[in-house]
Amino acid sequence: MADETNSPRAPSTGVTVGDMQKYLAIDGDDDVLKSLIGYAEEDARGSIDSTIDIEIYRKLPIFNQAVRTLVDFHYYNRGALSGQQIAYPKSYQYMLNKIRWKVGQTNG
C-alpha cells in the first residue's frame, strides 16, 4: 500500500488563497496569502531540490501540507518573527525530510 502522504495524485494547482483562507478560518488578506504561498513554495522547493519543477512538488499532498504549515506560521507571526526562538515549525522540517526522501527515491 502506497504512503498517501507521499503518493503523487492527479495534477494539482497546489495551495491556493481560497485553500489557505479555509485552513486558517479567515476571510480576506488575499494579497498577503498569495505572497506567503509563493514564498513557502519556493522555500520548500529550494530546501529540497530547486531543479525540480514546482508542478512536480504540487502533486505531493505532503508538499502542499508543508506549504500550508509554513504559511500558517508566517501569517500568525508577522511582525513577531524577530522574537521567535525557532525559524521554522518542527512539523515543516519533518515534512521536508519526508519529501527529500521521496524525491531521492524517484530521481536517485
d(CA 6, CA 16): 20
d(CA 44, CA 79): 21
Q: What rounded mean pLDDT belongs to the chain?
A: 84
**Inter-residue contact 45 to 57 (CB < 8 Å):** yes
Find the largest Cα–Cα distance for the chain.
Answer: 44
Q: How confident is the model at residue 64 (pLDDT cuts 50, 70, 90)?
A: very high
Joined together, the cell numbers standing for residue 11 give: 495534477
Q: Residues with Cβ < 8 Å from 101, sequence gap 6 or more? A: none
DSSP 29: -
pLDDT tens sequence across 16-53 = 999 999 999 999 999 999 999 999 999 999 999 999 99
pLDDT tens sequence across 39-49 = 999 999 999 99
Would you say residue 2 has pLDDT above 50?
Answer: no
